Amino acid sequence: MAAGAAGLLAIALTVGACGGGSSGSGRPEYIIGFQGPLSGDSSQLGINAINGLRTAVDRANTSGGLPFTLRLVQTDDQGTPEQGPTAAQKLIDNSGVIAVIGPIFSGATKASEPLYSQAKLLSVSPSATNPQLTSLGFGTFFRVIAPDTVQGTAAADYVAKALKAKKVFSLDDKSEYGTGLSTVLKKELAAQGVNVVSDGINPTKDYTSEATKIISEQPDVIFYSGYYGEFALLTKALRAKGFTGAIMSGDGSNDDQFVTQAGAASAEGAYLTCPCGDANSDPKAAGFVADFKRVNNGTRPGTYSGEAYDATNAVIEVLRKLGPGASREAVVRAFSSVDFEGVTKRIVFQPNGEVAGSTVYVYRIRAGKREVLGTTAELMKA
């Protein structure tokens, strides 16, 4: 990880240097901002996303077909609602920033969007899945991922019909994202006639008494709505106490870091759902994966990398049409009618900023690796 952090820094410096050089050549410059967790316990998801953004910016700059150059400016909100507004304000105050990719986490998004709305600055999240976010009247907010109403419902159906669970323990991390997902999940499980017990616990390190509580309920499935850092510790605690039921979580835990932090032995057999496919195993995304590895020192795309790449490319597409010198407001207006074929999906927005269409995938840890089992729809038929 030390090498990773150093690499990140090195790339940031290089990107900065390139940007400066190009603007020296006379072409005007647009800045694309990034807001997300770049430090903190679940920062891998932010790093995955910014690497996707970086890949898109690098591709656009080296393609040579643009009447402007692009530069990336990042702010770190540590994934928390507390840091969100400060991080957003930094980007808003930078007059060169024409659009923002992010925020990454739902809590930070909810806290930051009022500022973006006010500044009429476009913000496209590759990953914030809380259902409420598109109904709060944020005129400048778009996301390229399906909300948790879609994921929660699909995950619940999968648990009820494919795993045939009779009793489910639903635990959330009390965050904007976690409660949003668990609410939908519980509702759909109840509708499917599954017995649901639920609890909420703020992110912590010590899940021993919670594990005792869960095991004493003897559920067939435990579903955790939260991020991988905590899910890893919860999984460790449950397995150490000999829990034999299925352990499951959503997109916030869908990263290889989950396996690393829980340890391969504890993580084995865990299920993860995500409204996102795996670019690494998708033949159509081979070009993206190759570019991604080239730009990011050989790192493979992770969860949200493809979504961030698509979001950035959609923004670049809009900028290309508008040409240099466009206002922030014009970019927001043009973005709402974008129609762009990305590597993860076709990006077309509903009026509220919700991306059209939605497929939920199920992943499972096998022999220490995250594998795609298929979409929930396919798996329930089988």
Judged by CB under 8 A, does residue 297 bind another protein?
A: no
| Window 252-281: contact mask with another protein (x via CB under 8 A) | -----x--xxxxxx----------------
Which of 110/236 has CB closer to another protein? 236
Strands 221-225 and 246-249: parallel
Site size with another protein, rule: CB under 8 A: 42
Amino acid at 305: S
Contact criterion met (CB below 8 Å) for 307 and 50:
no
- Which residues inside 227-256 make contact with another protein, applying CB under 8 A? 229, 232-233, 236-237, 239-242
Q: HSE, CB side, 13 Å, CA atoms: give it for residue 79.
A: 24
Which of 229/342 has CB closer to another protein? 229
| Window 185-224: contact mask with another protein (x via CB under 8 A) | --------------xxxx-xxxxxxx-xx--xx-------
* For residue 283, cis peptide bond before it (omega within 30 degrees of 0): no
Nearest approach in angstroms of CB 235 to another protein is 11
Distance between CA 201 and CA 210 in Å, rounded?
8
Distance between CA 184 and CA 378 in Å, rounded?
21
Which of 157/172 has CB closer to another protein? 172
- Which residues inside 11-70 make contact with another protein, applying CB under 8 A? 39-41, 43-44
| Window 305-344: contact mask with another protein (x via CB under 8 A) | ----------------------------------------
Q: Considering only CA atoms, which of 63, 235, 276 is closest in space to residue 151? A: 276
Q: HSE, CB side, 13 Å, CA atoms: give it for residue 107.
A: 18
Distance between CA 200 and CA 292 in Å, rounded?
37
Q: Is 3 exposed, middle or buried (0-12, 13-18, 19+ CB in 10 A)?
A: exposed
Site residues, another protein (CB under 8 A): 1-2, 4-5, 39-41, 43-44, 174, 199-202, 204-210, 212-213, 216-217, 229, 232-233, 236-237, 239-242, 257, 260-265, 368
